[in-house]
Amino acid sequence: MTEFLQQLVNGLSLGAIYALLALGYTMVYGVLRFINFAHSDVFMVGAFAGLYLAPIVPSGSILGGILVVLGAMMVCALLGALIERFAYRPLRSAPTLNVLITAIGVSLLLQSAGQLSFGAAPRAFPAVFPARALSIGGLDFSSNQVVVLLVALILAVALRFVVFRTKMGSALRAVSQNPRAARLMGINNDVVIRFAFLLGSGLAGAGGVLYATNYPSIDPFMGVLPGLKAFIAAILGGIGSIPGAALGGLLLGLVETFVSGSEYSTYKDAIAFALLILFLIFRPAGILGKTRVEKV
């Protein structure tokens, strides 16, 4: 039983990070209908931003940790907006395939540029939050796991507020539902799309720092697998759906943690893909999404 609860906590904290990343995928998919392959590398940049910010804030304190997370979020939001402006906007009317390939290109560019500037070898990530081993009722976990869950929860609540309670948020939802109608209603789609990138990339930045605090070494290719899995999570939850992304992230984090703890741990990375394929084939709309019939 304690074993189970232990894995549950581990799974939730991994899932929370997937969820943060998945939110960015789902928002961009909502407004532009394509997989932003570069999102996972924005996440990586977030981790490195944290690495370079850590020495200039009070180390191992809550305030320092918050500053690092906020800083990484800002760096990534900016990066996301730049990518949107220079790589994706010129392709607004191009076929999806071209945008997809461009996104892969941007992803590779960030990885290789990261490799040149940060080096290919893994780097140790400093303890930005106060690190303590906690033990409650026989459960062992680190304070970092608590931090991950708390920060993710706060960000999710904040995102919910932005999307459902602000003007920009309603514009975002309007554009996801029907870009053409939104434009007719006087919404500037470009501004909304940039906003989606700012938000999504900011969350990825926070995710990068949180991931790095829990798995304390980072490298320029660290984003690839978590990124793919977060996208899978977004699909499991129902692509385009914000609660779906959160749900899918947590679910995938749990599944993966429990598989890692079992005798099939070496198949961990294949399981996510197998889930993806099963979902795409049998329930492409995901858990919370709606199926649509193509109009002819």
Out of 6, 7, 59, 115, name the contact with another protein by CB under 8 A: 115
Exposure of 146 by Cβ count < 10 A (0-12 exposed, 13-18 middle, 19+ buried)?
middle
The verdict on 217 binding another protein (CB under 8 A) reads no
46 token code pair: 């977030």
- Per CB under 8 A, 228 contacts another protein: yes
Q: Minimum Å distance from CB 208 to another protein?
A: 20
Residues 259 and 229: their CA atoms lie apart, in Å, by 14
Q: Which of 56, 62, 82, 116 binds another protein (CB under 8 A)?
A: 116
Instruction: Check residue 224 for interaction with another protein (CB under 8 A).
Output: yes
CB 62 within 8 A of CB 271: no
| Binding of ligand ATP by 295 (CB under 6 A) | yes
Work out what residue 270 binds among another protein, ligand ATP, none; the CB cut-off runs from 5 to 8 Å by kind: another protein
| Residue 82 touches another protein, criterion: CB under 8 A | no
| Pairwise CA distance, residues 257 & 180, whole Å | 42
Rounded to a whole number of angstroms, the minimum distance from the CB of residue 295 to ligand ATP is 4
For residues 266-296, one letter each, b for 16 or more C-beta atoms within 10 angstroms of the residue's C-beta and e for the rest, the string is eebeebbeebbeebeeeeebbbbbeeeeeee
Of 47 and 276, the one with the shorter C-beta distance to another protein is 276
119 touches another protein (CB under 8 A) = no
What is the spatial distance between Cα 278 and Cα 272, in angstroms, rounded to a whole number? 10
Q: Phi and psi (nearest 5°) for 22?
A: -60, -35
Is the Cβ of residue 133 or residue 293 nearer to ligand ATP in the bound state? 293
Could you give the CA distance from residue 79 to residue 105 in angstroms, rounded to a whole number? 15
Phi, psi of 56 (to 5 degrees): -100, 5
The residues of the shown chain that bind ligand ATP, judged by CB under 6 A, are: 293, 295
What residue ranges bind another protein (CB under 8 A)? 34-35, 87, 90-91, 94, 96-102, 104-109, 111-113, 115-116, 224, 228, 231-232, 235, 266-267, 269-270, 273-274, 276-277, 280-281, 284, 293-294, 296
